[in-house]
Amino acid sequence: MPKHEKLIFVDLETTGANPIVDRITEIGIVEVQGDQVSHWSTLVNPEIPIPPFIQSLTGISDAMVASAPVFGELAEEVLARLQGGLFIAHNARFDYGFLRNAFKAAGHSLRAEVLCTVKLSRKLFPEYAKHNLDALVQRHQLQALGRHRALADADLLWQLWRKLAREIAPDTFEQALAQLLQRPSTPTHLAPEVLDDIPDTPGVYLFYGENDALLYVGKSVHLRQRVLSHFNGDHRLFQDMRMSQQIHRLEWRETAGELGALLLEAQLIKDRQPIHNRALRRQRGLCAWQLRAQEDGATQPVLVNASDMDFGAAEGLYGLFSSRKKAEASLRDIAESHQLCLVQLGLESRVEAGKPCFAHQLRRCRGACVGKEPQALHQARLQAALASLKLVTWPHAGPVALIETAADGSREEAHVVHNWCYLGSASAEADVWSLLEQSRTRPAFDVDTYKILVRALAKGQVRVRPLPRLLDQAAA
C-alpha cells in the first residue's frame, strides 16, 4: 500500500456548483493515519436557501440546517482536521475550491496537497469511459451506505483507496500517485497559492512581468492544466523557462466555452501586444483579390486593401494576404497550375498588341491573350481556380449574438458579432445592448477572428440569435 502519513478523504454537499455564490451544507471527513481511522461529519448552515433540486438530491432540507453552525464557527476545527495530510476527493477541485473560499471568508487560508480520485481512476483504468462515483461503486463493488451525503461518499473513497491498494501493483499505484501529485515549480516572483485558485474551465490567462508589463496571453478549455504546463520542469520549452523567470503576476478570465476563449485571446493579443506572443497579432497590410469588370467586359482580379475597404461587408473577395508580394505570388501559382493567362490577370504587361504572352509560348497559357481561348471560358476557369480562396460573405442581415453554453450548463455567453467583427461577449441582456451601443464604429476586419467564427458556424457550435432591433438602435 502506498505510504502516506495521513490520508484525508473529503466530501461536501453544497447549495450548487459555483464556489463563488453557492455555500456548503454538509462536510464529511474520513481521516486515516496508520491503523487509526476516524469518521467525522457535520451539517452546515449555508445562510441561503437550498434549491429544491438540491434538497431532493441530497435529502438535506432548509429545516435540517436551520440550527446547524455556520462555517465560520466550524472553520478552526475543520482546518485542524485537514492540515498535515493528503486531501483526497472525487472531482477534488470542486471540494477544495469550496473549502478554500469558505476558509477565506472566515479569515483563514487552506493549503494542502490534493489528489483527485477521478483523475486517479482515469490514470489506472484508461479503458473505461465513465469515472463518476456511481460508476466506480459498480465497477469496484463498493458498499454504498448512502449517496449524496457527505460522510457516506467520503467513506466510499476510503473503500476505493483500499481496493486499489490491494489490487493494483504497488509500483504502478505509486507511479500513478507520483504523476498526479507532481507539482510544477512556481515562478520565483509568483505566490504559490495563486496556482491553487486557477479553475479548470475554458478561458484566457495573462502573464505579467515587472512593472505589470504584459508578457503573454494564452487560452485553453482547461485553464488550470494549461497554465501549470508552462511551469512543468520535465517538459518545459526554452521560451517557457525564460518567461517563467519573468512572471510577477497571473490573471485569468473564464469563458463559457472554447469559442469565447479563442475570440478573447485574439482580441487581447491584438489590442495589447504581449511581449512573447507572435501569432494572432494584427496584420496592418491585409489585402485580398476582388474580381472586377474591365472596360472591355473582361473580369480581372484587383488587389484591394482592408485599410480602404470593409472586408467584413465586401463581396467577391478571394484570399487574405499580409502583403502585396504574398498576394501576387499566390495568384501566380494559381495561374501556373491552371494554365491561366498572366496578361488577363494583370500580372504581366502585354509587350505588343496581338502577340501571345510569355507563358503561352511555354505552353503554360491556353491562349486567352490572343483569342485562342474564349474570354468567358477563361473567366469561368479563373473563378473555379479561386473558389477555395473565396471569403464567406457575412450570412446575416445585421449583427448577431452567438450563444455559447458551458459544457456543464453552468453559464452562458452571447458573443456579439457583425460582419465578422467581434464586438465582445456578454452574459446579460443589458450588456448585449451596451456592446452594440459602444460599437458605432466597428473594429477593423481581422483575419484570425474571421477564421475562428467561420469554423464555429460551420461546426454548429453555437446558437445564432439575430439582433436587428439592436442594430437599428445602435445606428440611430
- State whether CATH 3.40.50.720 applies to domain 6-181: no
CATH of 192-272, one of 3.40.50.1820, 3.40.630.30, 3.40.1440.10, 3.40.50.970: 3.40.1440.10
- What is the pLDDT confidence band of residue 235, given thresholds at 50, 70 and 90? very low
pLDDT score of 182: 74
Domains of the chain, by residue range, sit at 6-181, 192-272, 287-389, 400-466
In terms of average pLDDT, the best of 133-147, 178-192, 324-338, 461-475 is 324-338
pLDDT score of 472: 43
Share of the chain above pLDDT 90, in %: 59
Res. 357: pLDDT tops 90 = no
Give the residue among 412, 433, 411, 423 at the shortest CA–CA distance from 453: 423
- What is the pLDDT confidence band of residue 473, given thresholds at 50, 70 and 90? very low
Mean local confidence (pLDDT), 133-137 = 93
pLDDT score of 236: 45
Mean local confidence (pLDDT), 71-87 = 95
pLDDT score of 95: 93
Model pLDDT for residues 247-288, shown as the tens digit of each residue: 999 999 999 999 999 999 999 999 999 998 887 676 778 999
Model pLDDT for residues 438-469, shown as the tens digit of each residue: 766 667 788 999 999 999 999 988 999 998 64
**Of 51-60, 91-100, 280-289, 462-471, which range is least confident?**
462-471
pLDDT score of 363: 85
Res. 1: pLDDT tops 70 = no
Average pLDDT, the chain: 88
Mean local confidence (pLDDT), 180-209 = 83
Give the residue among 118, 81, 135 at the shortest CA–CA distance from 200: 118
Res. 110: pLDDT tops 70 = yes
